[in-house]
């Protein structure tokens, strides 16, 4: 797994080249490959949990607005 940094770098470079050439599909694929490789490293292992915590916080913060919305209209 010591060469994963090189693979992530080349995936980012590939995404940049595709974006510069205006090939959106290629840029998205290269970006997803870089993201999957990053999550596979010890540094990126906490990323899915952090995303889940963020979504949970947003859900809890928006709860008062979504629960009272139907009563306020009526």
pTM above 0.85, yes or no: no
Dihedral over Cα of 55, 29, 33, 30: its sign: negative
* Whole-angstrom distance, CA of residue 18 vs CA of residue 25: 8
The tokens for 4 are 């994963």
Domain boundaries in the chain?
A: 4-63
Integer angstrom CA distances of residue 57 from 36, 37, 38, 61, 62: 24, 26, 24, 6, 9
Tens place of pLDDT per residue across the chain (74 aa): 568 888 889 999 999 999 999 999 999 999 999 999 888 888 888 888 888 999 999 988 888 777 755 554 44
């Amino acid at each position: 797994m010591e060469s994963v940094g090189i693979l992530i770098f080349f995936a980012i470079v590939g995404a940049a080249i595709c974006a510069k050439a205006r090939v959106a599909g290629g840029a998205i694929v290269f970006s997803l490959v870089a993201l999957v490789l990053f999550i596979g490293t010890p540094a990126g292992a906490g990323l899915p949990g952090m995303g889940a915590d963020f979504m949970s916080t947003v859900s809890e913060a928006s709860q008062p607005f979504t629960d009272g919305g139907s009563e306020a209209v009526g």
